Amino acid sequence: MHSAAELIELWRNDMCESVHAGHVVVSDRQGIVEAWGSPGQEIFPRSSCKMIQALPLIESGAAAAYGLGSRHLALACASHQGAQIHSSAVAEWLAHIGLDESDLRCGAHLPNDPAERKRLTCSDSAPCQLHNNCSGKHAGFLTLNRHIKGDPEYVELAHPVQRAVRQAFEESTGETARHWGIDGCSAPNFTCTVEGLAHAMAGFADPAPGLRGDAQRMLVQAMLAHPELVAGEGRACTELMRATNGKAVVKTGAEAVFVAILPEQGLGVALKIVDGGTRGSEAAITRLLVHLGVLDAGHPVVAKYLGGPQVNWRGRITGELRCAAGFP
């Protein structure tokens, strides 16, 4: 692991108790604008790159052939809560292309949405694959697979769907993926550097003319139009996108990866907290959005993720998260 920069600190009374270190790159299409830590650190972007994985869905003509709208495209980029709004939309999408839940290959888990989790638990019902936070991405894979008439095992590395995804990923990052791994949803996840991921997001922020640029623009517009589908109520991605009033797309990935797309400034942001802790990554991306001028420092969402008091079960203030010196 390359040398990381200290980014976020947890203070209790007058002592720094914990530190979240990581790597951050802010990039435009020409290259790095700002950086902390090591831009060349290789990472798994995990779900932060779902908009890249959705590019072949549009570029192949599959999205147009099946009449997909902005809600479908937002779900293709989503790591959703498994709420009724999410699972029902994916079920309708699959029915629209002549498939159903059994055609998914993402696996089932209890939804993170409190209401849906309570409904399933109290009715003694098992979750299905529609509740998987990646079911929208997989619906996109299935739509592409239907269009190209591929075999059912669309998550396999050698499958045409995943070959198309890898090509789009390497072209977007400007790098050849040196490694790959199996993601939580069973699809391959390819590695890149933090710089490469930021470069890819800059491409979405400032699309070039042509098919790729049109696809990037459509995905960004879909995510901005439907932040509630990208994550869900109470989630950082949804809350931060709403708070920026359309100035930023924000997307998280497992193991404390975050990206942001700033269309008005033509900037892409990528960050990785090395300890894998979501607390640190949410605080860091919040600070970066304030630093880059797309989020008001006085907005309540800023205090929620950075700077606001942390309280215990009795409501007593125990500490706060702060930016480390020099960030940013």
Of 81, 69, 84, nearest in space to 109 by CA = 81
| Contact yes or no for 213/270 (Cβ under 8 A) | no
CATH number of the domain to which 98 belongs: 3.40.710
Q: Is the pLDDT of residue 158 over 80?
A: yes
Q: In whole numbers, what is the pLDDT of the chain averaged over residues?
A: 97
Residues 235-257 pLDDT 10s = 999 999 999 999 999 999 999 99
Q: Is the pLDDT of residue 144 over 80?
A: yes
- Nearest 10 degrees: Cα torsion 280, 281, 282, 284: 80
| Average pLDDT, integer, range 21-35 | 98
| Average pLDDT, integer, range 27-45 | 98
| Average pLDDT, integer, range 27-31 | 97
Residue type, 197: L
Cα distance between residue 209 and residue 224, in whole Å? 21
Q: Is the pLDDT of residue 178 over 70?
A: yes
The answer to the question of residue 129 being in a domain is yes
pLDDT range class, residue 289, cuts 50, 70, 90: very high
| Contact yes or no for 285/269 (Cβ under 8 A) | yes
- Residue 279 lies in domain: 24-290
The answer to the question of residue 99 being in a domain is yes
The answer to the question of residue 52 being in a domain is yes
pLDDT range class, residue 15, cuts 50, 70, 90: very high
| Average pLDDT, integer, range 160-167 | 98
The answer to the question of residue 310 being in a domain is no
| Contact yes or no for 77/219 (Cβ under 8 A) | yes
pLDDT range class, residue 2, cuts 50, 70, 90: confident
How many domains would you assign to the chain?
Answer: 1
Task: Give the DSSP letter string of 122-174.
Answer: HTT----GGGSTTHHHHHHHHHHHHHHT--S-TTSTTSHHHHHHHHHHHHHHT
The answer to the question of residue 309 being in a domain is no
| Contact yes or no for 62/31 (Cβ under 8 A) | no
Q: Is the pLDDT of residue 1 over 80?
A: no
| Average pLDDT, integer, range 6-12 | 97
The answer to the question of residue 166 being in a domain is yes
Residues 201-243 pLDDT 10s = 999 999 999 999 999 999 999 999 999 999 999 999 999 999 9
| Average pLDDT, integer, range 10-29 | 97
The answer to the question of residue 4 being in a domain is no
The answer to the question of residue 47 being in a domain is yes
Whether this prediction's pTM lies above 0.85 is answered by: yes
